Amino acid sequence: MKIKGKRVKKLLIFLGFFLSFTTFIYFGIYFIASISNKLDITRPNGYYLYDTNNELLNGASGEWINLDKISNYLIDATISIEDKNFYKHQGFDYLRIVKSLYVNFINKKTLQGASTITQQYAKNLFLTFDKTWERKIKEAWLTIKLESQYSKDDILEGYLNTINYGGIYGIENASYYYFNKSSSDLTLAEASILAGIPKSPSNYSPILNYDKAKQRQYTVLKSMVTNGYITQNQMDEAYNTNLEFYGYIYNNKLNTLRYFQDAVMDELDTLELPSSFLETGGLNIYTTLNLDVQTLVENAINDNFTNDELQVASIVMNPNDGEILALAGGRDYSKSQFNRALYAKRQVGSTLKPFLYYAALENGFTESTTFTSEETTFVFSDDKTYSPANYNKKYGNKDISMAAAISYSENIYAVKTHLFLGEETLVEMLKRVGISSTLEAIPSLALGSEEITLIDMVKAYSTLANNGYKIKPHFIKKIEDSKGNILYESEEYKEQVLNSSLTYIMNEILTSTYNYNFIDYNYPTCYDIANKITKKYAVKTGTTDTDHLIFGYNSNLVVGIWSGYDDNKETAIKDGKQIRFMWADIVENYFKDKEEQWYSIPSNVVGVLVDPISGKIADQSTKNPTMFYYIKGTEPSYKNESLESLIPTIKLE
């Protein structure tokens, strides 16, 4: 028994020594932290997004609201759910840490966290959220500095002014965003909803996910009852209160604006910047957004689409510098946050054809080059066959020009051109203009059977719009810290990948899609918007069973639109008309009261009046003589030659 007693005594001495030593170390660190350079937390560190007019986008007022101006309901709810011992610990809640480790170990998964409000605040002073040990050590040091240099009220005030409430930073901004009122006027029901968001901003935002937000609200209210802040009756009344959510940034009521904001933040993640807000004092992010254009896009969606299930995505970009002026990743961010403009890969249909025909121009084709429009089955090795059909099953059963093929979006002409050039030619061309998707060199590629994102297609079309230069689409112009120091500035990237004279010819060809001169056995694909267009544009549409697309441009603007169902359900023919009208509304409103933005004819290009369907030189009998453009020396003679005999074996049906 004496031996056992000695061991216990030694153990107690060791524990006492260990606790004394660790206490000495902790208070030593605490003392060093208290006399080190004081952290500046008296300004609202965070992200501040500005449009091209330097107006704030993300509801961040830049104003710091004092703790005594914030609703007590919000303060009590936050402390109760996030850190009930906030006013008792010195930055770390050790008992809570031990409890969470035990619960998580027993359940073999993370069910509880142990971060205090001070630790969360320290974490949110960083720009990134990597989980390296270096980062965790810095967070711990910041936690100690905060506790040693500031009062609890100061820390809580800073936390509430900077925390993320579902993409809206700071409680005052969040209060106006969700309820259109100051945080001083929040009710218990409203406060308990907001206090639940920071744990998982994307999951618990009541606008983005109402059901989960209500579940979280119940948890918040229950904790307030448990911790003695409210009674059960108050909880029941607050939980059953029917709340109406404002959901807009000040007076801006655009349902699509948050898609653009998300795109900005995604781009921000790719940039190399200082690691913490303490170094920057917050980031002022100057974006490429033109709010007037964003409004045009949203109005065009609302004016032309009545089917709420049908989704729409759109991008408006300056083709000369890659600045994205407006973006809609869907119809309503509050109903779906998936950004279809950037991340949805869909079949693009006939909108690939301009790049096929540009490649053809590089390989000796002209606007007048003809193939026969007729039902065709292509026969390959091993008796494999391919039988494409025109979208409306209409064929001329005669030779037609390339311009007519573009006007009608002829599939037979496109596949014949594709096979004549070799299937790898189009793959290489699409890579050249910036398409990043992996594409298969197959006959149907000419008809857009592969899946490509809208942003990639807009990037590709910009090479035609800017006379042959590949550019880099971007959302951020410049980033400054709180003192005005420039941390990042976008650099113009331009790489010439296409011939400017051939792009001029291609741009002229793409005006045939709404030119009444091409009405013959078929109609131009965009003839129904010809009377809505008052200026000259290059336009191409694309249609599959599940997708409708349109891309149109001039020298200063590219507009791309997609519509379809998220579940790939088949669309109706009328959906193609809606998307064309939407495009026309955007470009016509944008260029209203502006001068013509078309291209100057290159010195080595000549125009010749021809019959638009056959491509032959016009004479007195020509019904609708139309100007076609050619590199000098390639313009047609009275002898028009077809390339039909050079296509791989063709079996006529």
- The CATH number given to whatever domain includes residue 380 is 3.40.710.10
CB 548 within 8 A of CB 562: yes
Which DSSP letter does residue 169 get? B
CA pair distance 499, 469, nearest whole angstrom: 9
The confidence score (pLDDT) of residue 144 equals: 80
Same domain, residue pair 114 and 218: yes
Structural domain range at position 429: 295-339+358-442+456-652
Q: Which residues are registered as beta bridge partners of 474?
A: 323
CB 602 within 8 A of CB 500: yes
Tokens of 611: 């019959």
Same domain, residue pair 378 and 482: yes
User: Which of 230, 253, 276 is where one domain is finished?
Assistant: 253
- Catalytic residue set: 82, 350
Residue 117 or 606, more confident:
606
Same domain, residue pair 303 and 196: no
The confidence score (pLDDT) of residue 168 equals: 83
User: Which of 228, 253, 278 is where one domain is finished?
Assistant: 253
Tokens of 410: 């002829």
* Assigned domain for 350 exists: no
CA pair distance 350, 347, nearest whole angstrom: 9
**At CB < 8 A and 24+ separation, what contacts does 514-519 make?**
514/539, 515/407, 515/612, 515/626, 516/624, 517/612, 517/624, 517/626, 518/403, 518/404, 518/407, 518/408, 518/612, 518/613, 518/624, 518/626
* Assigned domain for 211 exists: yes
Residue 38 or 316, more confident:
316
Q: For the ranges 84-98, 337-351, 552-566, which has the lowest average pLDDT?
A: 84-98
Residue with tokens 């059953």: 240
Same domain, residue pair 219 and 365: no
Reference 443, options 392, 377, 504, 490; nearest CA is 377
pLDDT band at 575 (very low <50, low <70, confident <90, very high): confident
CA pair distance 271, 276, nearest whole angstrom: 14
CA pair distance 101, 98, nearest whole angstrom: 5
Please determine, for residue 407, whether its predicted confidence score (pLDDT) is greater than 90. yes
Q: For the ranges 244-248, 490-494, 576-580, which has the lowest average pLDDT?
A: 244-248
Q: For the ranges 112-116, 230-234, 587-591, 618-622, which has the lowest average pLDDT?
A: 112-116
Please determine, for residue 581, whether its predicted confidence score (pLDDT) is greater than 90. yes
The confidence score (pLDDT) of residue 132 equals: 65
Please determine, for residue 329, whether its predicted confidence score (pLDDT) is greater than 80. yes
Please classify residue 12 by burial: count the beta carbons closer than 10 Å to its beta carbon, then call 0-12 exposed, 13-18 middle and 19+ buried.
exposed
Same domain, residue pair 429 and 525: yes
Please determine, for residue 500, whether its predicted confidence score (pLDDT) is greater than 60. yes
Same domain, residue pair 222 and 302: no
* Assigned domain for 449 exists: no
HSE-CB at 401 with a 13 A cutoff on CA atoms is 24
Q: What is the mean pLDDT of the chain?
A: 87
The confidence score (pLDDT) of residue 147 equals: 80
Element (H, E) at 404: helix 402-408
Please determine, for residue 148, whether its predicted confidence score (pLDDT) is greater than 60. yes
- Ranges of beta strands (E only) in 538-648 are 538-543, 547-553, 558-564, 605-610, 626-631
The confidence score (pLDDT) of residue 112 equals: 46
Q: Span 448-475, mean pLDDT?
A: 97
Tokens of 34: 């208290």
Same domain, residue pair 130 and 60: yes
Same domain, residue pair 245 and 303: no
HSE-CB at 586 with a 13 A cutoff on CA atoms is 33
CA pair distance 32, 144, nearest whole angstrom: 10
* Assigned domain for 447 exists: no
The confidence score (pLDDT) of residue 138 equals: 73
* Assigned domain for 29 exists: no
The confidence score (pLDDT) of residue 515 equals: 97
Please determine, for residue 396, whether its predicted confidence score (pLDDT) is greater than 70. yes
Residue 384 or 605, more confident:
605
CB 552 within 8 A of CB 538: yes
pLDDT band at 62 (very low <50, low <70, confident <90, very high): low
pLDDT band at 451 (very low <50, low <70, confident <90, very high): very high
Please determine, for residue 445, whether its predicted confidence score (pLDDT) is greater than 50. yes
pLDDT band at 35 (very low <50, low <70, confident <90, very high): low
Q: For the ranges 179-183, 253-257, 532-536, which has the lowest average pLDDT?
A: 253-257
- Ranges of beta strands (E only) in 581-645 are 605-610, 626-631
Please determine, for residue 624, whether its predicted confidence score (pLDDT) is greater than 90. yes
Same domain, residue pair 176 and 300: no
Reference 302, options 44, 585, 560; nearest CA is 585
The confidence score (pLDDT) of residue 27 equals: 61
Q: Span 308-318, mean pLDDT?
A: 96
Please determine, for residue 96, whether its predicted confidence score (pLDDT) is greater than 70. no
CB 529 within 8 A of CB 585: no
Please determine, for residue 559, whether its predicted confidence score (pLDDT) is greater than 90. yes
Q: Span 324-334, mean pLDDT?
A: 95
CA Rg, the chain, in Å? 32
Residue 410 or 108, more confident:
410
pLDDT band at 198 (very low <50, low <70, confident <90, very high): very high
Residue 602 Ramachandran class (φ > 0 left, ψ -120 to 50 alpha, else beta) = beta
CA pair distance 387, 380, nearest whole angstrom: 11
Residue 380 identity: F
CB 550 within 8 A of CB 540: yes
pLDDT band at 104 (very low <50, low <70, confident <90, very high): low
CATH code for the domain of 196: 1.10.3810.10
pLDDT band at 115 (very low <50, low <70, confident <90, very high): confident
Tens of pLDDT, residue by residue over 507-539, are 999 999 999 999 999 999 999 999 999 999 999
The confidence score (pLDDT) of residue 122 equals: 80
Same domain, residue pair 146 and 232: yes
Tally Cβ neighbours within 10 Å of residue 129: 8
Reference 120, options 148, 146, 99, 102; nearest CA is 146
Tens of pLDDT, residue by residue over 208-237, are 889 999 999 999 999 999 999 999 999 999
Please classify residue 521 by burial: count the beta carbons closer than 10 Å to its beta carbon, then call 0-12 exposed, 13-18 middle and 19+ buried.
middle
The confidence score (pLDDT) of residue 272 equals: 86
The confidence score (pLDDT) of residue 274 equals: 79
Same domain, residue pair 215 and 362: no
CA pair distance 536, 289, nearest whole angstrom: 25
Tally Cβ neighbours within 10 Å of residue 443: 18
The confidence score (pLDDT) of residue 117 equals: 87
Same domain, residue pair 179 and 77: yes
pLDDT band at 253 (very low <50, low <70, confident <90, very high): confident
pLDDT band at 417 (very low <50, low <70, confident <90, very high): very high
CA pair distance 240, 277, nearest whole angstrom: 39
pTM of the model: 0.84
The confidence score (pLDDT) of residue 649 equals: 45
Domain count, the chain: 2
Residue 24 or 201, more confident:
201
* Assigned domain for 28 exists: no
Helices H, strands E: what count in the chain? 22, 20
Q: Span 374-401, mean pLDDT?
A: 90
Reference 529, options 559, 505, 490; nearest CA is 559
* Assigned domain for 312 exists: yes
The confidence score (pLDDT) of residue 47 equals: 80
Tokens of 572: 């109706």
Question: In the chain, what percentage of residues exceed pLDDT 70?
Answer: 83
Instruction: List the 385-386 sheet strands across, edge first.
Output: 385-386, 376-379, 650-652
* Assigned domain for 306 exists: yes
The confidence score (pLDDT) of residue 604 equals: 97
User: Which of 253, 269, 285 is where one domain is finished?
Assistant: 253
Please determine, for residue 651, whether its predicted confidence score (pLDDT) is greater than 50. no
